[in-house]
Amino acid sequence: MMREGHPDLSAFEGKDFSGAERRQVVIIGTGPAGLTAALYAARAKLNPLVFQGPEPGGQLTTTTLVENYPGFPDGIMGPELMRLFEAQAVRFGAEVRLGTVTAVDFSQRPFRLLVDGYIPVLADAVIIATGASAKYLGLENERRLLGRGVSACATCDGAFFNGVEVAVVGGGDTAMEEALFLTRFATRVHVIHRRDQLRASKIMQERAFAHPKITFIWNTVVEDVLGERRVEGVLLRNVKTDERRILPVRGLFIAIATMTSVPGVFACGDVQDRVYRQAVTAAGSGCMAAMDAERWLAEHATSTS
């Protein structure tokens, strides 16, 4: 939160940090970036403390088969991959805790953090690896069929929809990127948008409009996801006429976008990457963040007390 151009530190009012735990490195997030950062920081003997946050393991825990992570020629289930990430980091000394960092104060060092709104923690360096939480439509069947035709990542799951029709919900650049990527596999990609024009950049709109496999359904929202064991269609409603109809598709991709310059604070993974957003690139940036933190701590000769 910002107030008159300055960070809102009201969450820290009345909080006593005199006896707070202090660590050399605190890592916020346990996706591929956060756990890779934890592994490298632990091997550097920095005794990192890692907070899992509200989505332990990140978005890969909602993914089924991961086929594009190096080292697993037969693929690996997303939750199992993240379990292995954590086990390796813990083996070398990383401490992974339940808890969500709800407030930070980067205006002074050591940095002040509040966990779950009331637990004070001090950190000499902080690595932010909070990832990108996918936005969903809030439909009951959407969550039930997540991983069974419902997805928030075309790059992750697009190959599973070869030769079938799919739908993408959204009207921004993310939706256009997802739709264009899905044309490599699907026979038809229906872009469903609640307005009569896109929010995407002009160049992304032009690419999507020009593609023969992409069709647009305007002024429309998804009211339900149909199917027992997997997605078999979506129930659509035109917001202007209130007309409802069923669109038979085998996949539904939600593409509603979510949207440091502070010495000693480092960012890695999807929280700072709006381009690639892959597990392998997140892990790579986690490695870089940990190495940068190690060098920064050495240069500033900071130590716990």
- Identify which of 228, 242, 67, 247 has the alpha carbon closest to the alpha carbon of residue 169: 247
* Joined tokens for residue 2: 């910002």
The residue from 157, 173, 270, 273 that is catalytic is: 157
The residue from 105, 124, 156, 273 that is catalytic is: 156
What's the CA gap between 158 and 143, in Å, rounded? 18
What's the CA gap between 204 and 123, in Å, rounded? 42
106, β-bridge pairs = none
- Identify which of 138, 124, 208 has the alpha carbon closest to the alpha carbon of residue 174: 208
Total residue length of the chain: 305
- DSSP character string of 53-121: -SSTTGGGGG--EE-SSTT-TT-EEHHHHHHHHHHHHHHTT-EEE---EEEEE-SSSSEEEEETTTEEE
The residue from 124, 153, 173, 273 that is catalytic is: 153
Q: Are 50 and 30 in contact (CB under 8 A)?
A: yes
Active site residue 287: no
What's the CA gap between 185 and 201, in Å, rounded? 24
What's the CA gap between 145 and 157, in Å, rounded? 14
- Identify which of 53, 70, 50, 202 has the alpha carbon closest to the alpha carbon of residue 126: 50
263, β-bridge pairs = none
Active site residue 156: yes
Catalytically active residues are 153, 156-157
